[in-house]
Structure 1
Amino acid sequence: MAKWGQGDPRWIVEERADATNVNNWHWTERDATGWSRRKLEQLLVGLAVEGAAGRCEISALKRVEGEASCNSRKGKLIFFYEWSITLGWTGTMKESGEKHEGSVEIPNLSEENEVDDTEISVSKKEGDGDMLKDFMRTEGTSKVRQALRDYLKALKTEFTLGMILPTKTSAGQELAVKKKSSEKNMQDSVLPVSLDTIGVRIPTVKILLKDMFDSPAEELYSIFTTKELVQKFSKSRAVIEAKRGGKLQMFDGYVTGEYVELLPNQRIIMKWRCRNWPYEHYATIALNFKDQATQTELQLECKGVPACNEDSTRQCWQKQHFEEIHVLLQQTKVNAE
């Protein structure tokens, strides 16, 4: 038995709150299977390509079989994943408007092969529409490969947060860096850190969007603060407590948050997150309404979005918010006439 103070430092419990897996030496494993299924569906379903032949879109995740996990050993992360995926796609011919559908097969997505070398095959039900099939085989496959790259990037960043625990030395270094950063302009990704808890910094980005709506500011503001209107444009159940500190829940709980500031018809500020983001991480959403008589320019500033979720967050606001609100306003206008 080694004398006190002479043991291998990897065996010694350091002065840290958890005293768990000191120096990250022991083998730890985290199952990524369920998370991966949700992530693959989020990244793949809804992918669309459009060209001279027409428009194609991944319409469904028909089958996803396999598993994924992440292991930590001696301070290193090791990934295992093996998936067999079947996607459904639909397409519309540009000239004739004919509808066609088919499948995309990904028989073996695994760590043994690069994404560019992974086999992806496209098939179509019998009948005309081979131009769409060829378009899907080229442009569509390229989009699918990029989505698979995004999945692997998220697996190795977003999913693994917290697996490499900070040691006493690294914790001290991290605190020093954060203290120095606080003396300058804090970046979006830096959150207040207490001396009692050392977390893992999440790389974040800021998203800026704006759109013009055929509506006065008062009407557009109410669409974001009235439960019935939120449920109409989101086509799902919602919890809307439009007051300071009030809760926000949309898309059957996929999006949650809290109202921070409400200035009627001018500005809304919210804490906002998606279900698949790192645990308890929120972005700050600022919606500014610029009234222009019969129209309103809506300016969105979204700070603190996890970098690996930038594209999906941008798409969420553009397609599931802005585009659906345009449709709702048009329907309201037609009904009024």
Structure 2
Amino acid sequence: MAKWGEGDPRWIVEERPDATNVNNWHWTEKNACAWSKDKIKELFKDLEISGDKISCSVTEIETCDGEAVVNNRKGKLIFFYEWNIVLKWVSDDDSKIEGKVTIPNLSEENDISEVSIEFSLKTSTDEGEKVKHFLHTKGKNTVRQKLEQYVSALKEEFSKGMILPKKDSNQVVTKVTKTGINIKEKMNSTVISKDTVGAKISTTTVSQQQKFQCRGQEFYNVFTTIEMVQAFTGGPVQLESKKGGKFEMFNGNISGEFVELSPTKIIQKWRCRHWPNGHYSLVNFDISEKSDHTEVNLTQTGVPTSEEASTKQNWDRYYWDPIKRTFSFGYFM
């Protein structure tokens, strides 16, 4: 063991009084999802678009779906964000003239000038078409300005303090890596998983097939009835069997939420406690009842590559085998 002050300088923690991320060597991450939603709502709330004797106002942020995260990698800030935004607008002169603004591809891969902005009209009338034409030709600039303000705030306001002072330095030097496809080419070990929230890491897909001596509805009940989940996991369970419902089992080591629930399909956002913060895989159970058994096809996307082998083993060890033993679903003639 190296003496105090010796060894690899990346691990010498006395250089900072808080012993945190010395010289910014380690990869740190900050989830910007909640902050981004609040910022986008703040920027577009009551936004007025006017000109050419026409005036319209944004009345509601109908949709704000997506994710954003900022990474500090060896003293460089790397930004990932992807948002689908839908706004409602109304004419200030005639409340019957209203529609929506759709922004489907706000992301670091696209320059603000390349982001699609589409205006639609709820009811087509001659006056309404004039307003829509104005918004399409002049209103896009106003919307783009707000999108630019969001990106600037993400890079300057939200990420402030992520790069820590180095030894013998009272200044924080911020190096911002240009976002976009070049970052992803350099980070050739990183795969962006659209099905995950938060962390951007190298991922893979796990696929398995299992046969159970039971009806399809019985297998479905195993994952959606708290008493049955507690039976095969052997411990306390938190379970809300509904779309968007949360679940937690194995002393909190496995958690997530239900994305879709039906007797033939269960989809879950699913994570292990020790995975990077905010990173979820997507688990898809396809349940197919045959004449004498039920076939279950598992597809799990977004599994960290380093966890592939253990994840496969743990499905057998903690799910399939206990389910078959507990409910006698494993016996075939």
How does the TM-score come out when normalised to structure 1?
0.48
How does the TM-score come out when normalised to structure 2?
0.48
